[in-house]
Structure 1
Amino acid sequence: MSIALNRLGALDAARKLQRRELTAVQLVRACFARIEQRENTIHAWTALQKQAALEHAEQLDKGPLRGPLHGLPIGVKDLFDTVDLPTRYGSPIYERHHPGLDAAAVALCRGAGAVVVGKTVTTEFATYTAGPTRNPRNEAHTPGGSSSGSAAAVADDMVPFALGSQTAGSIIRPASYCGIVGFKPTFGAIPRAGVKSLAESLDTVGGFARSVPDIALFASVLMRDPRMLDLNYDAKPRIGMYRSLQWRHAQAETKEAYAQAAAILARAGAQVEEVPQPPAGDCMLVQLHADIMAYEASQSLAYERLEHAAQLSAKIQSVLEAGARITAEEHQRNLARAAEVRARVDLWFDRYDVLFTPSASGEAPFADLGTGDPQFSRGWTLFGLPCLNLPFATGPQGLPVGLQVVGPRHADHRTLAISAWMHERLLATQAPDIGAADIWPRG
């Protein structure tokens, strides 16, 4: 039975488009048909441009191949500037904002042949106040934040890829909640020009797809590194299983998936070892990240804080006010503390090729409870390390449970290759005794 065109993975679709076995118009039409069928339920988009996308697709079909993303429809988080679509940053302050140019990441995708379908929902300035987006696996639950619409659009087969960003856990957590692959590269590996700043030392551009090879295709374009396309990995990886100091917050389904994954990977030949817990003082990393983020957000959003406070939610106002109370001297001490711990964590990769750790505390919470807690990602974002969410299991409510691969700084290619090796083996194993979590089925 042939698969519906909108459900094609990015790499499979790209190959068909490159061989002219599939037209860009056919693929874009299929994606819009899915959007029209589901958008009233999922609410993943803030703006769509069907006619312009179809016209672009038609031009691509008539002309030469533009690049590795030729004809692929994509979604763009509404934190990224776009010349042809409004950019609101999740805030009523920017209701009529129309940038004059594309963000660098958007321009790179378009230059490689991608077709921008529309803008996806973000939380307010990529922080905490949720938009209307719902989890495609169960609409009563959140898709996570802040890249809510991008994660939901990919998970619901509306587009094969969508751009996102992470300042705390805004890629990894939504990917986990929605059951897809999310990739946050090494800090600074993808240009942030044209992306609304929240915290200068933390903001990282990444994205969502349905498999590691799919995400690697986009990484090759966004990082201008064709090595990303070669995911061959013949060695047996050294995997450090890291519960983290947030383990007490992990729910039963996450603990069960974590244990099951360790067993599967060990049977597959990986060297799997539990990472010793760091010094007790490192338990303050979550607060350290939060303080750095709050200080830098109060600076980056100074105009909004000082001139449009009445149009900010109470939640972001409290964050910005807390950040404004932190002195520059305190902030410098916080950055120095982060650098000190980062150097110690870097040494872990002398012993391990990657770390494997929870992506989130468990399944997605109900939508009226917010977008979930980023605590399992804050530290890795603070350290600027490349991270991937691998969808692996389902919990007792039938919702996805993901696990997070963390690699060494600037080793994004190797981290992707090892992640592909790990994911292939995790998904190939059906374990009847997994308990609270069953192997996550990918159809």
Structure 2
Amino acid sequence: MSFHNLHRLNASEALQLIRDDRISVEQYAKSLLNRIQERDDQVQAWAYLDPELVLSQARSLDSIPKEQRGPLHGLAVGVKDIMYTKDMPTEHNSPIYRSSFVQIDASPVMTLRKAGALIFGKTTTTEFASITVGSKTHNPHDYGRTPGGSSSGSGAAVADMQVPFALGTQTAGSIIRPGSFNGIFGFKPTWGAISREGVRFCSINLDTVGFYARSVQDLQLIADVFRLSDDEDPEPFTVRGAKFALCKTKVWPQAGPGTVQAMEKATELLRSAGAEVEELVLPEEFNKMQDLHAFMMGGDVRVAFLGEYTVAKDSLDDFMVRQVENASKMTRRDQLNALDTIASLRPKIDTIAGGYAAILTPSSPDEAPEGLGSTGSAVFNTMWTALHVPAINIPGFSGGNGLPVGLTLIAPRYKDRYLLNVSEEVGKIFKEGGWVSRL
């Protein structure tokens, strides 16, 4: 592979070349920067990127003696622009924080930097990662469509091979949905498994830091660095003989033809690989999860943005203004009922999911919708986010326009490493799902 094409490597491949002294971090960074230069007019995944800073950091990493290098030495990572970075502005896609420098790193950025990662730049987000009005970023597979979710820039940058992995966050569906729309792996760990210090969130009860990558092997690398661990080390996973649950959930009528076909094809592929697949209908008490998530999120947002509302109301999106003003007239009783009911359902979903290798469920209604005005619906994601379970989008399928459609695997809480092991094997099978990237 020529130095010009190094951007096509996944993180594990690039790391091996750097470790073997076959390429330098600077050479790798230059290839990524060339890719961005070629594609930025179309994709626009970056809220902030300084090529000189990138190359300076790359040269500094190259100067570190081998025995002192971290486990992610030289690997480029995009950081969602709601996370503090000590050498880059953090703007939250808000005029209130234009050119705002907070000279500390968020905890996830600290962890990555200490591990030797090359903090490449800040990826785009919707305003405060809280609204569904799209950012400037385009889906790399179809510039007329959204890349999805508030983690739009992170998903698009990884899919377009501008960086091998990136940080995102999920409050409703902003890791899983962009994973589906962009045809990559999007991993939302168990809520609370990763520190959120220095990350500007809108919901203390929902927001979770997660990751994008183009392979599960890369997600395993980053999971090691963040010390994700289960109580018991998971055994190697084999699909043959495993039992999966096919869970359409109450909102299945909102599934489009791409997702319907993906679920059918996934079932066929798993069974052909020797797995058992049975349909799971959750108990009726889970049917109100959409409303309960909305109450929980609404109560949190009402508090989270009171400061900005107080000093700069006219600079906030109308959605956030309405949330702070409680335009829906949500009562504290509604909020408490949501908190308590969801809390009671979490151990129940752990028990249900524990009876299967994993739960298979939709990631999105269909392919990415046309236009940038909306990031798409999170209707298939909110329940799992509120239940705090780990979730991962597995790519492999396509819709009517040949654009990616992914499916989600779910496991019980704090079975993150187990879920990654399952996902690695299932991902190999889903490669036969019919979607092929043209990038």
What's the TM-score, normalizing by structure 1?
0.93
1:70 Cα deviation (Å)? 0.2
Answer whether contact 1:184 1:388 (CA < 8 A) is retained.
Answer: yes
Q: Secondary structure of 1:403's match? A: strand
Cα pair distance change 1:251/1:8, threshold 3 Å: same
Q: Distance in 1 between matches of 2:230 and 2:164?
A: 20
Tell whether 2:180 aligns with 1:176.
yes
Q: Distance in 1 between matches of 2:56 and 2:7?
A: 18
5+ unaligned residues in a row in structure 2: which ranges? none
Alignment of 1:133-172 (within 5 A): 133-172=137-176
Q: Distance in 2 between matches of 1:269 and 1:372?
A: 35
The CA deviation string for residues 364-405 of structure 1, in whole angstroms up to 9 with x for no partner, is 011244000111110000011111001111111121100001
Answer whether contact 2:146 2:368 (CA < 8 A) is retained.
Answer: yes
Q: Distance in 1 between matches of 2:379 and 2:154?
A: 21
- Partner residue in 2 for 1:434: none
Q: Distance in 1 between matches of 2:150 and 2:247?
A: 25
Q: Distance in 2 between matches of 1:125 and 1:75?
A: 17
- Partner residue in 2 for 1:63: 64
Alignment of 1:17-36 (within 5 A): 17-36=18-37
Q: Distance in 1 between matches of 2:27 and 2:236?
A: 31
Letter in 2 for 1:184: K
Q: Distance in 2 between matches of 1:417 and 1:132?
A: 35
- Partner residue in 2 for 1:308: 312
Tell whether 2:192 aligns with 1:188.
yes
Answer whether contact 1:228 1:413 (CA < 8 A) is retained.
Answer: no
5+ unaligned residues in a row in structure 1: which ranges? 431-437
- Partner residue in 1 for 2:347: 343
The CA deviation string for residues 314-334 of structure 1, in whole angstroms up to 9 with x for no partner, is 222223333784343432221
- Partner residue in 2 for 1:46: 47
Letter in 2 for 1:112: A
Instruction: Please identify, of 334-343 and 401-410, the stretch whose mean Cα deviation from structure 2 is larger.
Output: 334-343
Q: Distance in 1 between matches of 2:262 and 2:239?
A: 24
Cα pair distance change 1:133/1:46, threshold 3 Å: same
Q: Distance in 1 between matches of 2:120 and 2:347?
A: 41
The CA deviation string for residues 177-222 of structure 1, in whole angstroms up to 9 with x for no partner, is 0111100000011110000021001010011110111122112112
1:230 Cα deviation (Å)? 9.1
Letter in 2 for 1:10: A
| Among 271, 279, 282, the residue aligned to 1:274 | 279
Q: Distance in 1 between matches of 2:299 and 2:391?
A: 24
Tell whether 2:241 aligns with 1:240.
no
Alignment of 1:323-362 (within 5 A): 325-362=329-366
Tell whether 2:264 aligns with 1:259.
yes
Q: Distance in 2 between matches of 1:336 and 1:79?
A: 29
Number of residue pairs aligned between Structure 1 and Structure 2? 434
Q: Secondary structure of 2:326's match? A: helix
The CA deviation string for residues 387-425 of structure 1, in whole angstroms up to 9 with x for no partner, is 100111111112110000111100000000001010111
Alignment of 1:41-120 (within 5 A): 41-65=42-66, 66-120=69-123
Q: Distance in 2 between matches of 1:321 and 1:202?
A: 20
Q: Distance in 1 between matches of 2:89 and 2:232?
A: 32
Q: Distance in 1 between matches of 2:14 and 2:361?
A: 31
Answer whether contact 1:353 1:408 (CA < 8 A) is retained.
Answer: no
Q: Percent of aligned positions with the same letter in both sequences?
A: 38
What's the TM-score, normalizing by structure 2?
0.94
| Among 116, 130, 142, the residue aligned to 1:127 | 130
The CA deviation string for residues 323-361 of structure 1, in whole angstroms up to 9 with x for no partner, is 784343432221001112223212212321210100000
- Partner residue in 2 for 1:435: none
Answer whether contact 2:213 2:219 (CA < 8 A) is retained.
Answer: yes
Letter in 2 for 1:90: N
- Partner residue in 2 for 1:433: none
Cα pair distance change 1:227/1:221, threshold 3 Å: farther
- Partner residue in 1 for 2:399: 395
Alignment of 1:410-425 (within 5 A): 410-425=414-429
1:232 Cα deviation (Å)? 4.0
Cα pair distance change 1:230/1:278, threshold 3 Å: closer
Q: Distance in 1 between matches of 2:276 and 2:247?
A: 14
Tell whether 2:11 aligns with 1:10.
yes
Answer whether contact 1:228 1:416 (CA < 8 A) is retained.
Answer: no
Alignment of 1:210-229 (within 5 A): 210-223=214-227
Tell whether 2:368 aligns with 1:364.
yes
1:118 Cα deviation (Å)? 0.7
- Partner residue in 2 for 1:291: 295
Q: Secondary structure of 2:380's match? A: helix
Answer whether contact 2:135 2:372 (CA < 8 A) is retained.
Answer: no
